[in-house]
Structure 1
Amino acid sequence: MGTDTKSDAKTTVSVIASVLRHDLPASLVVFLVAVPLSLGIAVASGAPLAAGLIAGVVGAVVAGSLGGSAVQVSGPAAGLALVVAELVSRYGWRATCMITLLAGALQVVLGVFRVARAALAASPAVVHGMLAGVGVAIALSQLHVVLGGSPQASAVENLSQLPRQIADNHGPAVLTGLLTIAVLAAWTRLPQRLRVVPAPLAALLTAAATAWVLDWDVTRVDLSASLGEWSAPLWPQGDWHGIVAAVVLVALLAGVESLLCSVATDKLHDGPRANLDRELTAQGAANVVSGALGGLPVAGVIVRSTTNVRAGARSRWSTILHGLWILLFAVGLGWTIAFIPMESLAALLVFTGVQMVNVGHLRNLRGHGEVPVYLVTLAGVVLLGLAEGVLFGLGLAALLALRRLAWVRVSARPEPCGRRWHVLIDGSLTFLGVPRLTAELRAIPAGAAVDLDLNIDFMDNAAFEALHAWRQEHERGGGTVSIDEIHDEWYAMAASGAHMFPAKTPPRAPDRWWLPWSHRRRRHSTGSVPVAALPGQAPQSGAGLPAGALTGLPVVTPSGLPAGTLTDPAAETGAVPDLLAGAREFHHRTAPLIRPVLHGMARRQQPSHLFITCADSRIVPNLITASGPGDLFTVRNIGNLVPRRGALPSDDSVTAAIEYATHELGVRTITVCGHSGCGAMAALLGGGEGTRELPSLGRWLRHGNHSLARFIATDGDGGGGDDGGSGHRDGNGGPLDRLCRLNVIQQLENLRTHPRVDRLVRTGRLELVGLYFDIAAARVHVLDRPPAALAPR
Structure 2
Amino acid sequence: MTESGYTNTKRDWRSVLRHDFPASLVVFLVAVPLSLGIAVASGAPIAAGLVAAVVGGVVAGALGGSVVQVSGPAAGLSLVVADLVHTYGWRATCMITLMAGLVQLLLGVFRVARAALAVSPAVVHGMLAGVGVVIALSQLHIVLGGQPQKSAVENLLELPSQIMNNHGHAVMVGVITIAVMLVWNRLPRLRAVPAPLAALLIGALPASVLGWDITRVDLTGGFSSLQGPVLPAGDWHAIVSAVLLVSLLAGVESLLTCVASDRMHSGPRADLDRELTAQGAANVISGALGGLPVAGVVVRTTTNVRAGARSRWSTVLHGVWVLLFTLAFGWAIMLIPMEALAALLLFIGVQMVNVAHVRNLRGHGEMPVYFVTMAGVVLIGLAEGVLIGLGLAALLALRRLTWLSVQVRPDAGCWRVVVTGSLTFLGVPRLTDSLRAIPAGSAVELDLHVDFMDNAAFEALHAWRLEHERTGGTIDIDELHDEWYSAAVSGTRMFPAKSPFRHDRWWLPWAYRRSGPPSGEVGPDAVPAAAVADAEAVPDLLKGTREFQRRTAPLVRPLLTRLARGQAPSHLFITCADSRIVPNIITASGPGDLFTVRNIGNLVPRHRMAPHDDSVMAAVEYAVGVLAVRTITVCGHSGCGAMAALLGEVPPAPAEWEAVFGTDFPSLRGWLRHGRHTLARFVASESAGDDAGPLDRLCRVNVIQQLDNLRSHPRVDALVRSGKLELSGLYFDIGSASVHVLHQERFTPVPELRAAAGTG
TM-score > 0.5 by shorter chain? yes
Q: Secondary structure at the match of 1:223?
A: coil
Match status 1:283 vs 2:279: yes
- What letter matches 2:378 in structure 1? V
Question: Is 1:57 the counterpart of 2:39 in the alignment?
Answer: no
In the aligned structure 2, how far is the partner of 1:518 from the partner of 1:348? 62
Q: Is the 8 A contact 2:641 2:651 kept in 1?
A: no
Query: Partner of 1:228: helix, strand, or coil?
Result: helix
The reply on whether 1:119 has 2:119 as its aligned counterpart is no
1:379-398 aligned within 5 A? 379-398=375-394
Kindly state the Cα deviation for residue 12 of structure 1 after the two structures are TM-superposed: 1.0
Aligned twin of 2:133: 136
Structure 1 Cα separation of the partners of residues 227 and 78 of structure 2: 21
1:31-60 per-position Cα deviation (integer Å, ceiling 9, x unaligned): 000000000000000000000000000000
Aligned to 1:444: 438
Tell whether 2:642 aligns with 1:660: yes
The residue aligned with 1:292 is: 288
Distance 1:57 1:605 in 2: 58
**2:212 corresponding residue in structure 1:** 216
Does 2:359 align with 1:363? yes
User: Could you say which residue in structure 2 is the equivalent of 1:349?
Assistant: 345
- The answer (yes or no) to whether the contact 1:104–1:283 under 8 Å persists in 2 is yes
- What's the offset of the Cα at 1:659? 7.0
Structure 1 residues 518 and 403, CA gap change in structure 2 (3 angstroms): closer
The equivalent position to 1:475 in structure 2, one of 455, 469, 472, is 469
Structure 2 Cα separation of the partners of residues 518 and 135 of structure 1: 54
Q: Is the 8 A contact 1:608 1:666 kept in 2?
A: no
SS at match of 2:501: coil
With over 3 angstroms needed to count, the CA separation of the structure-2 counterparts of 1:456 and 1:635, relative to structure 1, is: farther
* Counterpart amino acid of residue 100 in structure 1: T
Tell me the equivalent position of 1:251: 247
Label 1:97 to 1:6 Cα distance change in 2 as closer, same or farther (>3 A): same
Question: Pairwise mapping of residues 166-245 of structure 1 onto structure 2 (< 5 A)?
Answer: 166-191=163-188, 193-245=189-241
State the alpha-carbon separation in 2 of the partners of residues 482 and 393 from structure 1: 45
Partners of 1:117 and 1:338 in 2: CA distance: 42
- Counterpart of 2:474 in structure 1: which amino acid? T
- Secondary structure class of the residue paired with 1:413: strand
Q: C-alpha separation between the residues in 1 aligned to 2:284 and 2:482? A: 52
Aligned twin of 1:109:
106
* Cα displacement (A) at 1:472: 2.3
Partner Cα separation in structure 1 for residue 150 and residue 32 of structure 2: 27
Task: Determine the C-alpha separation between the residues in 1 that align with 2:476 and 2:203.
Answer: 78
Q: Alignment partner of 1:224: what SS?
A: coil
Alignment of 1:501-516 (within 5 A): 501-509=495-503, 514=548
Matched, 1:302 2:305: no
Partner SS for 1:320: helix
User: What CA deviation, in whole Å up to 9, does each residue of 1:270-313 have, x standing for no partner?
Assistant: 01110000000000000000000000000000000000000000
User: Shift in Å at residue 604 of structure 1?
Assistant: 12
2:454 equivalent in structure 1: 460
Superposed, 1:23-34 pairs within 5 Å as 23-34=20-31
Letter of the structure 1 residue corresponding to residue 19 of structure 2: H
Distance of 2:333 and 2:31 partners within structure 1: 14
Q: Which residue of the partner structure matches residue 740 of structure 1?
A: none
Counting aligned pairs with the same residue, the percent is 65
Task: Give the TM-score, by structure 1 length.
Answer: 0.68
Contact 1:139 1:353 (8 Å CA) reproduced: yes
- Kindly indicate whether residue 339 of structure 2 is the aligned counterpart of residue 334 of structure 1: no
User: Which one-letter code corresponds to 1:363 in the other structure?
Assistant: R
Distance 2:192 2:310 in 1: 20
- Counterpart of 1:791? none
Relative to 1, partners in 2 of residues 1:270 and 1:495: Cα closer, same or farther, differing over 3 Å?
same
Amino acid at match of 2:440: A
Deviation at 1:213, TM superposition (A): 1.9
Aligned equivalents of 1:520 and 1:57: distance in 2? Answer: 68
Q: Residue 606 and residue 169 in structure 1: after superposition, are their counterparts in 2 closer, same or farther (change >3 A)?
A: farther
1:87 aligns with 2:84: yes
Deviation for aligned residue 1:471:
1.7
Is 1:158 the counterpart of 2:152 in the alignment? no
Higher deviation after alignment, 60-69 or 152-161:
152-161
Partners of 2:559 and 2:308 in 1: how far apart? 69
Aligned-partner SS, 2:449: strand
Query: Secondary structure of 2:452's match?
Result: strand
Deviation at 1:327, TM superposition (A): 0.4
Alpha-carbon distance in 2 for matches of 1:516, 1:103? 58
- Asked whether the 8 Å contact 2:91–2:228 carries over to 1, the reply is yes
Task: Give the match for residue 413 of structure 1.
Answer: 409
Instruction: State the number of aligned residues.
Output: 579
**Could you tell me how far apart the structure 2 residues matched to 1:466 and 1:148 are?**
67
Decide whether the 8 Å contact of 2:222 with 2:326 is kept in 1. no
Distance 1:541 1:202, change over 3 A: closer
- Confirm or deny: 8 A CA contact 2:64 2:277 kept in the other structure: yes
SS of equivalent residue, structure 2 residue 221: helix
Contact 2:178 2:344 in 1 (8 A): yes
Aligned residue for 1:491? Answer: 485
Structure 2 length-normalised TM: 0.71
8 Å contact 1:454–1:484 — kept in the other structure?
Answer: yes
Equivalence map 1:691-730=2 (5 Å): none
In the alignment, which residue of structure 1 is the partner of 2:630? none
Residue aligning to 1:781? none
Cα distance in 2 for partners of 1:605, 1:73 equals: 48
1:136 and 1:103 map into 2 onto residues whose CA distance is 26
Deviations 1:189-221 (A, max 9, x none): 222x22111000110010111111222111112
**Contact 1:609 1:668 survives alignment (8 Å):** no
Show CA shifts across 1:384-417 (max 9, x none): 11100000000011111111111211121112x4
Question: 465-474 vs 89-98, which deviates more?
Answer: 465-474
The whole-number CA distance in structure 1 between the counterparts of 2:11 and 2:427 is 64
CA contact (8 A) 1:45 1:85 kept: yes
Contact preservation (8 Å) 2:228, 2:288: yes
Decide whether aligned partners of structure 1 residues 650 and 255 sit closer, same or farther in structure 2, where only a CA change above 3 A counts: same
Code of the residue aligned with 2:88 in structure 1: it is Y
Q: Aligned AA for 1:465? A: E
Larger RCO: 1 or 2 (CA < 8 Å, sep 6+): 2
C-alpha separation between the residues in 2 aligned to 1:28 and 1:257? 24
Look up the SS of the partner of 2:212 in the other structure.
Answer: coil
Corresponding letter in the other structure for 1:106: V
CA distance in 2 between counterparts of 1:609 and 1:667 reads 19
Deviations 1:136-177 (A, max 9, x none): 001111111111111111111111111111111111111101
Q: Note the C-alpha offset of 1:494.
A: 2.3
Deviation of the 1:485 alpha carbon:
2.1
**Worse-superposed segment, 503-512 or 260-269:** 503-512
Contact (CA 8 Å) 2:94, 2:287: kept in 1 or not? Answer: yes
Q: Deviations over 1:325-347 (max 9, x none)?
A: 00011000000012110000000
Over the residues paired in the alignment, what is the CA RMSD in angstroms? 3.6
Distance 1:226 1:137 in 2: 29
Instruction: Quote the residue 2:71 is aligned against.
Output: 74
Counterpart AA for 2:642: Y
- CA separation in 1, counterparts of 2:201 and 2:615? 71
Map of 1:399 onto structure 2: 395
Maintained 8 Å contact 2:641/2:650 = no
Is the Cα–Cα contact under 8 Å of residues 474 and 480 in structure 1 kept in the other structure? Answer: yes
1:138/1:350 contact within 8 Å kept: yes
In structure 1, give the amino acid aligned to 2:161.
R
Q: CA–CA distance in 1 between the matches of 2:279 and 2:551?
A: 62
Mean Cα deviation higher: 106-115 or 460-469: 460-469
| 1:634-691 CA-partner distances (Å, limit 9, x unpaired) | 669xxxxxxxxx998776899x99972984784869xxxxxxxxxxxxxxxxxxxxxx
Find the partner of 1:262 among 233, 238, 258: 258
SS of residue matched to 1:128: helix
> In the alignment, residue 447 of structure 2 is paired with which amino acid?
D
